[in-house]
Chain A
């Protein structure tokens, strides 16, 4: 479908260019929150020129190199753009973009989420990131991969204790992930609370099932069948999985850390898990409720897993388990 759309768009653009050799598919970029009006004007102009130049190359109006020479984009940035272009031609498929500038500590800023299609790749709808210096000059163009350099945004008002606690949680989560990859049952046995509630959403047909538990029913049994396991059952299952597979390679993405609204030593971590083993792979959302009331050795009180897709639809983040599903 995407390929058809892309083909249609290119055909349309090419058709336009035949009607009027000077016709352009113009992209207009508006940037909110630039440090001053001069920087805003320059960064908007250069971002618009760049994305328009991509389209003009593809529809044959003007080669990218020539288009860039007619812009105010710095020569060294032009070289970087051409290098990126050599790996794959790109097309921005929208004509108007409005993005908020993300300030950086060095005074520069960037805009993200610019939708592009990389024509050399089969599945590549990507986001472009444009980096500007404090004067608004375009200094770098990159394709955003699935990482989040959140630390470029400096937060005000958060306490040092809260920040360090959340870093300790990231440390805990990385250890937790490593334990699966190392098939370290002893470690997992130590970090799961003996009373841990372990819920796995199974990707099966719709099934009405009364779990005899109002809380579990509220989790949305109409979507998945939820299997509740004790720690002992879960550990036994893990043991079998570890034995069966030559390797386990789990990756985590989209990690969020939330503190319980009433109990400030209990944190919830939601993340996207890529479960890869030698025999099986899946993608799903994990929710971990981690209890730090026991000092420096936290334990997992709740672990839930849901598939990231149900009936061909990606589940929304607000459908993922969170504190609201559990009474403490």
Chain B
């Protein structure tokens, strides 16, 4: 059900979305360039800089528009108000905000030609009653606006490489199909998003991990009292989400011990070891050849980078004639097709030294779509 949102509820939903998907600030704390552009083009704005839902008949009569801010007064979301907060929470705050923002962006364009160019450039498609935008039966973007009413039913569907947003009532249907393009959906480019992750890391305080010990039946015997909880692989067969345990009587314990550094580093990177004393010095390779550093515990790092939309894969191995241990963690976001990748190489004993600070390199927002062959 599509329904106009009230500002209080929307604030809650958007705040949750902003916490889960921080996307809007660049390194200088300015709103994203996209929001700046949109603000400049808006023919009407709310009276105050508070979160607002307001009409703007110059853009579309009978429709409401929404602007939300964070605690610093920076814009976190703006768009044509389409969803209730309940619907956002139930489906996807990110996708709902995207549709709202997209509708406003398209409305702000001067004419149909500009809109068609924008759609072609950003690779999204709109079909009204089965007719693509630009067809003689769907010439004007405004033709689809009556569908955005309380009585219309809406849904998102994930398909190979993209999503479709479906809106229908008894008389008509609208489909908006768009690729899993992080930049398009989040509305921020890599520079802005790298900065946002930097801010998230710098502010990360949650210093504990919740560890779940699997049942004995789910473990595979690898010999030498090493028990593997099988996972899946990412890209190459050695980069896996497997976890490793030892049995001590009836107790099952994740491996983190000096005589098994390979499985220890795998477990550590997979968030299976809640050891606040392991401190990482993160060298964050951001856009613009910038490499800010942060010192965080493993728990703080993983809590900042992982969420319910991500999947983690790791690999540990001995390098430099067995003197050093190397670990790689890939945090994959299949919903928006990008990864964050953390890499480290340290002396074996450093991993278990409670006073050590482990240097790691972090690459963020690495796109995983539009790739024909990574290993040509």
Contact = CB atoms under 8 A, between A and B. Distances in A.
A256 B372 contact: yes
B289 A190 contact: yes
Nearest to B190: A178
A190 B373 CA distance: 27
A4 interface: no
Interface string A228-256: 00000000000000000000010111111
A163 B236 contact: yes
Interface string B177-210: 1011000000001110000000000000000000
B39 to A, nearest CB: 16
A202 B122 CA distance: 25
Given A129-B160, A170-B367, A87 B375 contact: no
B191 A182 contact: yes
**Interface footprint category on B:** 35 or more
A249 B121 contact: yes
B173 A164 contact: no
Interface stretch (B14-22, B44-52, B97-105, B129-137): B129-137
Interface string A166-204: 111011001100110110100100110000000000000
A88 interface: yes
A105 interface: yes
Nearest to B373: A256
Interface string A255-273: 1111000000000001000
A66 interface: no
B236 A144 contact: no
A148 B373 CA distance: 9
B328 A147 contact: no
Interface in B311-335: 315, 317, 326, 328, 330, 332
B190 A166 contact: no
Given A166-B375, A168-B363, A251-B123, A148 B369 contact: yes
B190 A175 contact: yes
Interface in B158-189: 159-162, 164, 166, 173, 175, 177, 179-180, 189
A148 B123 contact: no
A229 B365 CA distance: 32
Contact of B127 (A87, A110, A150, A182): A87
Interface of A: 80, 83, 86-89, 105-106, 110, 120-122, 124, 129, 131, 140, 142-151, 154-160, 162-164, 166-168, 170-171, 174-175, 178-179, 181-182, 184, 187, 190-191, 249, 251-258, 270, 274, 276, 281, 296-297
Interface of B: 117, 121-123, 127, 130-132, 134-135, 157, 159-162, 164, 166, 173, 175, 177, 179-180, 189-191, 232-239, 285, 287-289, 315, 317, 326, 328, 330, 332, 337, 339, 341, 343, 361, 363, 365-376
